[in-house]
Amino acid sequence: MTRQDFLLRLRSGLAGNVPAEEAARLVDYYDEMILDLMEDGRSEADAVAQVGDPNDLVYAAAGTRPLPAPSPTSTLTRRRWRWTLLILGAPLWGSLLLAAACILLSADLILWCVPLTGAGVSFGFLLGGAISVIASPLAVSGAWALALVELGAGFILLGLGMIVVWLTVQITRICWRGHRALFQWGLAQLGRSKAVIA
């Protein structure tokens, strides 16, 4: 390749890909480099080959050039398009969002069923135990054996109630952590979607 061919290809490659001043500067720079190599005793073809392929130089120059900032008009148009698509696609993404929210709510309700059951069981044990213990003296005059069994059952129920209360408190703490994690995850997903839309 001759020096003129090289410069021609370089100039045409740079045109439109880098600013005109930058293209002129690069052409002069590589021209000077070729001339320097020729002065050092290299042949024209050798010097051109030494500098490199003009296409590679064009790609390198274009790649290092900062991207032009989007014009306000194109950003506005893109935003309008996004909102249009968003509104038109509402029946699809809206129902999916509603389904996801319902699933999240169901998961949360299932989560709270466990401590709710624990609370119910402990309440039943404690109430039953208290009634049994309080009512047992009524049976004393009628039947000693019955009164003792009732009193014993009342104590057993109170003890079991205490154990279930402790377990329920522990489970509630775990559920509260799960509840927070679930909703933080949900809100994070929502925030990510907003960021994508914006």
Question: Residue numbers of the site for another protein (CB under 8 A)?
Answer: 138-139, 142-160, 162-163, 166
Name the residue with tokens 């290809």: 9
To another protein, the closest distance from the beta carbon of 151 in angstroms equals: 5
How far apart are the C-alpha atoms of 190 and 104, rounded to whole Å? 13
To another protein, the closest distance from the beta carbon of 144 in angstroms equals: 6
Q: Positive or negative CA dihedral for 13, 19, 24, 29?
A: negative
- Rank residues 13 and 122 by Cβ distance to another protein and give the closer one: 122
Tokens encoding 149: 């069994």
What is the Cα Rg of the chain in Å? 41
- Rank residues 89 and 159 by Cβ distance to another protein and give the closer one: 159
The answer to whether the CB of 1 falls within 8 A of the CB of 48 is yes
- Rank residues 49 and 149 by Cβ distance to another protein and give the closer one: 149
To another protein, the closest distance from the beta carbon of 131 in angstroms equals: 12
- Rank residues 47 and 164 by Cβ distance to another protein and give the closer one: 164
Number of Cβ within a 10 Å radius of residue 68: 7
To another protein, the closest distance from the beta carbon of 157 in angstroms equals: 8
